[in-house]
Amino acid sequence: MCGIVGYIGEKNAKDIVLNGLKKLEYRGYDSAGMSLWDNKTSDHTLIKVKGRIDALEKRIDIKESPLAIGHTRWATHGKVNQENAHPHTSFSGRFIVVHNGVIDNYKQLKKTYLNDKTFTSETDTEVIAFLIDYFVSESLPADKAILKTLRLLEGSYALLVIDRTQPDLIYAAKHKSPLLMGKSNQGIIIASDMMALLPTADQYVALEDETFVTIHQDAFTIFDLNGTVQPYQMQPIDMDDMSSEKGAFDHFMLKEIHEQPAVIRKILNKYFEKNDVLLDTAMLDTIKKHDRIHILAAGTSMHAGLVAKKLLEQWAGMPTEVHIASEFAYDMPLLNGKPFFIMISQSGETADLRACLMRLKKDHHTVMTVTNVRTSTLAREADMVLTIHAGPEIAVASTKAYTAQIAVLAILSYALSHQSFDLKAELSKIASAMDSLLEKHEDFKPIVESLLNKRHCFYIGRGLDYAVALEAALKLKEISYIQTEGFASGELKHGTIALIEEDTPVIALISQNSTASLTRSNLNEVKSRGAKTLSIVVESLRENGETMLIPDANPSLAPLLMVIPTQLIAYYAALVKGYDIDKPRNLAKSVTVE
Ligand code: G6P
């Protein structure tokens, strides 16, 4: 979703901001813009485009600049066009603003303060620029005008503001949308995502909510919204710039699919000492004092939650419910007993989850975040954190985060249980089985070509296989745009089977002994009605004619392997159709608006 990068310092701000914006492309965007100080004209220029950063870059004819701010926009208020792209300028032209987030009361603010003004965009952001100008016209100095504006805003914002009369200064502000300050000895970089700080900065600080910052090239000062200086501590940046490169792979998605065995091994290194689980016993004791777990998540992370629910129930005997975060935040179910909350989020920035967290904290509940980004908002604000150690996930379609989330939650479930099997050995076996499945990844191209030639498709399964079917369907629709449903196979005949016609692709997932024959019967029912079918089956349950085989593993951990072919099916389906695999249409990697 929207991205922000700003830089002031001795290096070339134009290159740093453009590179930073490119690093944020993975989050999804539809237009881009930049404002740079031009030494020739001694003024700021502003360039915006509908479309990609490459197009923006071509339009910039300044070679060097000491100060620049840039933005990638994922439309929330108003169409995708150049007028609505950021930065936005105030009515006198003095202030230039980029903004992530949503201002809920912008219409009201327009009516109260800016009724006589003419706006050039449909965005809520332009109101922020205009308000600052309005308060300056009422004779407030710029910093006081920005603070007054911030105090009036309801909603979320990460903001950078340029005052054209102060060429050596950037203002920043943050509430509910992430914003990080990075520092090196050659300047200050500000960005909405850690990825964009690299390789410019070596230290960073994540801004708290309701903060305002003044930034000069060698120092910055953080204030609260009353203008009182706030203390802060810089942290070293613990991320490798190379890990966000594609390497030998054509797409980040394919690279990330292939990284899964290594991620599982890394998780084993981080969470085991010999055969003992390395999890804080005080943390485990706290969880054990509760009698029901509620998992909150969105998208793929929610699907990982569905698998984790089974593990927490089967292994640890903890009744567990899984909720869609955007539903839970505003339609909270009746909670009884002593509920414990686990938020699963790859990015740790999903706004729907932040809304849940605010609500839960208000009611003094204990919350754990399971995330890939230790420095993220949800990690910082929860009571406990488990890191999934998947490394940066750049492709919008999540793959390695899903399996890493399941692996880490399997370790947690095991640590909460009295199980005595060798989980470490089981997970290492899975990493090796993933390797062997991935060796044959190119075999999926012809399978996809012969199977997926319809506009729709079904994945079916029962129990854990149903949980994987939901993720498999999401993956396929996200990047190949084939309308795909993940379905509980027994439920098909209660209505949905009416959709089956000649050659409708139906893929069955079969990894559980107790339901294998039932799922097969359901597959036969659709086959009799013309469906083109494929079974993905664990070796020990194989029947004649079934060729897509998955190595056997602990059945409770089978989703870690069953999902691999479905990720490859999605990848090759999008490849065959020629779609933008890593940046599918309309989607964002990190969804920072509700
Ligand atoms: C977006 C992404 C999905 C992701 C979901 C939840 O929709 O496109 O891939 O599963 O957000 O994100 P999170 O970072 O909270 O796991």
pLDDT digits (tens, 9 = 90+) for 367-376: 999 999 988 8
Separation of alpha carbons 391 and 307, rounded Å: 21
Q: Are 303 and 423 members of one domain?
A: yes
The residue contributing the CA closest to ligand 1 atom 15 is 345
What count of Cα atoms within 13 Å lies in the side-chain half-sphere of residue 543? 10
Residue 49's pLDDT band (cuts 50, 70, 90) = very high
Asked which of 438, 466, 484 is the last residue of a domain, the reply is 438
DSSP string, 486-539: EEEGGGGGGTGGGG--TT-EEEEEE--HHHHHHHHHHHHHHHHTT-EEEEEEEG
What 3-state DSSP class applies to 226?
coil
pLDDT value, residue 176: 87
CB count within 10 Å of CB 314 equals: 15
Distances, alpha carbon 66 to alpha carbons 60, 373, 454, in Å:
15, 31, 53
Residue 244's pLDDT band (cuts 50, 70, 90) = low
**Residue 413 tokens, joined:** 């479930």
Helical H runs in 225-274? 252-258, 260-271
Which of 7-11, 75-79, 260-264, 490-494 has the weakest average pLDDT?
75-79
Q: Are 154 and 81 members of one domain?
A: yes
Distances, alpha carbon 59 to alpha carbons 31, 140, 566, in Å:
13, 35, 41
Q: Are 306 and 382 members of one domain?
A: yes
Ligand 1 nearest atom to the CA of residue 298, by list position? 6
Ligand 1: distance of its center to the CA of 80 in Å?
Answer: 22
Give the residue-averaged pLDDT of 483-493: 95
More confident residue, 195 or 393: 393
Q: Are 323 and 337 members of one domain?
A: yes
Q: Is the peptide bond before 87 cis (omega within 30 degrees of 0)?
A: yes
**Pick from 530, 570, 536: nearest CA to 448:** 570
Residue 107 lies inside a defined structural domain of this protein: yes
Q: Are 417 and 533 members of one domain?
A: no
Any atom of ligand 1 within 6 Å of the Cβ of 347: yes
Any atom of ligand 1 within 6 Å of the Cβ of 591: yes
Ligand 1: distance of its center to the CA of 349 in Å?
Answer: 9
pLDDT value, residue 398: 97
Residue 240 has pLDDT above 70, yes or no: no
Residue 443 DSSP symbol:
G
Any atom of ligand 1 within 6 Å of the Cβ of 589: yes
Give the residue-averaged pLDDT of 12-25: 93
More confident residue, 1 or 106: 106
The residue contributing the CA closest to ligand 1 atom 4 is 299
Residue 37's pLDDT band (cuts 50, 70, 90) = very high
Q: Are 151 and 238 members of one domain?
A: yes
Range of the domain at 263: 249-438
Residue 586 lies inside a defined structural domain of this protein: no
| CA 134 to the chain's CA centroid | 36
Strand pairing partners for 323? 296
Residue 242 has pLDDT above 60, yes or no: no
pLDDT value, residue 241: 62
Residue 259 lies inside a defined structural domain of this protein: yes
Separation of alpha carbons 543 and 94, rounded Å: 73
Are the beta carbons of 212 and 172 closer than 8 angstroms? yes
Residue 207 has pLDDT above 80, yes or no: yes
Residue 476's pLDDT band (cuts 50, 70, 90) = very high
Any atom of ligand 1 within 6 Å of the Cβ of 504: no
CB count within 10 Å of CB 569 equals: 28
Separation of alpha carbons 52 and 33, rounded Å: 10
Q: Are 104 and 133 members of one domain?
A: yes
**Residue 221 tokens, joined:** 């000062």
Give the residue-averaged pLDDT of 505-530: 96
Separation of alpha carbons 54 and 56, rounded Å: 5
Q: Are 382 and 486 members of one domain?
A: no
pLDDT value, residue 194: 87
Query: What percentage of the chain reaches a pLDDT higher than 70?
Result: 99
Which residues have a Cβ under 8 Å from the Cβ of 134 and sit 6 or more positions away? 91, 113, 114, 117, 145
Separation of alpha carbons 311 and 321, rounded Å: 12
Q: Are 352 and 317 members of one domain?
A: yes
CATH code for the domain in which residue 89 is found: 3.60.20.10
Q: Which of 306, 589, 592, 594 to mutate to test the pocket of ligand 1 (most atoms within 8 A of CB)?
A: 589
- Write out pLDDT tens, residues 297-348: 999 999 999 999 999 999 999 999 999 999 999 899 999 889 999 999 999 9
Give the residue-averaged pLDDT of 94-118: 95
Asked which of 180, 208, 242 is the last residue of a domain, the reply is 242
The residue contributing the CA closest to ligand 1 atom 3 is 299
pLDDT value, residue 245: 73
pLDDT value, residue 243: 64
Which residue numbers are catalytic? 2, 589
DSSP string, 294-333: EEEE-HHHHHHHHHHHHHHHHTT---EEEEEHHHHTTSPP
pTM: 0.80
**Pick from 468, 421, 429: nearest CA to 268:** 429
**Residue 234 tokens, joined:** 């810089």
CA angle 530, 570, 328 (to 5 degrees): 100
Asked which of 438, 471, 506 is the last residue of a domain, the reply is 438
Residue 594 lies inside a defined structural domain of this protein: no
- Write out pLDDT tens, residues 550-578: 999 999 999 999 999 999 999 999 999 99
Average pLDDT value for the chain: 94
Strand pairing partners for 183? 188, 203
Q: Are 264 and 403 members of one domain?
A: yes
What 3-state DSSP class applies to 37?
strand
Separation of alpha carbons 104 and 124, rounded Å: 8
Residue 28 has pLDDT above 90, yes or no: no
Any atom of ligand 1 within 6 Å of the Cβ of 301: yes
Q: Which of 1, 2, 301, 586 to mutate to test the pocket of ligand 1 (most atoms within 8 A of CB)?
A: 301
Q: Which of 591, 592, 593, 594 to mutate to test the pocket of ligand 1 (most atoms within 8 A of CB)?
A: 591
Structural domains of the chain, count: 3
